[in-house]
Amino acid sequence: MTTSTAKIFHDMAMNLSHEAKMSKTKGDEAAYVEQMTKAFFLEKEAALKVYDDTTIWKHALIRSAGWLAFKSGLFSDALDLVQFGKKGNPPQYLAHELSELEQAITQKLGKTADIFTGKNLLQIFGFLISANIPKSQIEIQKDEHSSITIQVPADKINDIVRMYWGQAVEIQGIEQQDGIFEMKEIKRAA
């Protein structure tokens, strides 16, 4: 997918966000949350469509998706995006805005961010493109040019392949000292 596809998703997300604000001014909180949640998923998808991690556009989309998740009450997703955005080496002003979002999340939850973040916990977005069942490993294509092999629990490999084969996924895991990435959680990407 291209940046133009990302722009289409972004525009759709911003339209939904505007509709959500209109619903809120009319006092319809349920419609607000529903529309804001849809906007979040579209904006997150837009960020995933931009493969070049060095572009400001990708970082801005990640920040925007994080705020939409926050406004939807999806604090865990918002925090995941903050962490993902900070790892991408964003420009200083976007890094500052991601830190502001992180502060807002922790204030809302009444906890410090350190409780939520493992020091080595990483998040990977991509497509499940292959599996080595005997070794309990899956391969995730992160973008057009790179993929990563991930160790998964042996008792879950068959279910993971059945449920997520060829799908866009989000994986949380820990990079071990030997460089192997060990999966802790997997879910469909929006």
pLDDT, mean over the chain: 84
Quickly list DSSP for 117-186: --TTEEEEEEEEEEEETTTTEEEEEEETTEEEEEE--TTTHHHHHHHHTT-EEEEEEEE-TTS-EEEEEE
> Is the model more confident about 51 or about 60?
60
The whole-number average pLDDT for the span 138-145 is 84
- Is the pLDDT at 144 greater than 80? The verdict is no
Quickly list DSSP for 59-83: HHHHHHHHHHHHHHT-HHHHHHHHH
- Report the Cα 118 to chain-centroid distance in Å: 16
Indicate the angle between helix axes 92-109 and 56-72, nearest 10 degrees: 10
With bands split at pLDDT 50, 70 and 90, how would you rate the model's confidence at 133? very high
The whole-number average pLDDT for the span 101-117 is 66
- Is the pLDDT at 148 greater than 90? The verdict is no
The whole-number average pLDDT for the span 31-57 is 86
Q: Give per-residue pLDDT as tens, 74-90.
A: 888 888 888 888 887 88
pTM: 0.57
- Is the pLDDT at 119 greater than 60? The verdict is no
**Per-residue confidence (pLDDT) for residue 166, from 0 to 100:** 87
Quickly list DSSP for 79-110: HHHHHHHHHT---HHHHHHHHHHHHHHHHHHT
CA distance 39 to 68: 7
The whole-number average pLDDT for the span 4-22 is 91
Q: Tell me the domains of the chain and their CATH numbers.
A: 3-116 (1.25.40), 121-188 (2.40.50.140)
> Is the model more confident about 49 or about 38?
38
The whole-number average pLDDT for the span 32-38 is 91
SS3 188: strand
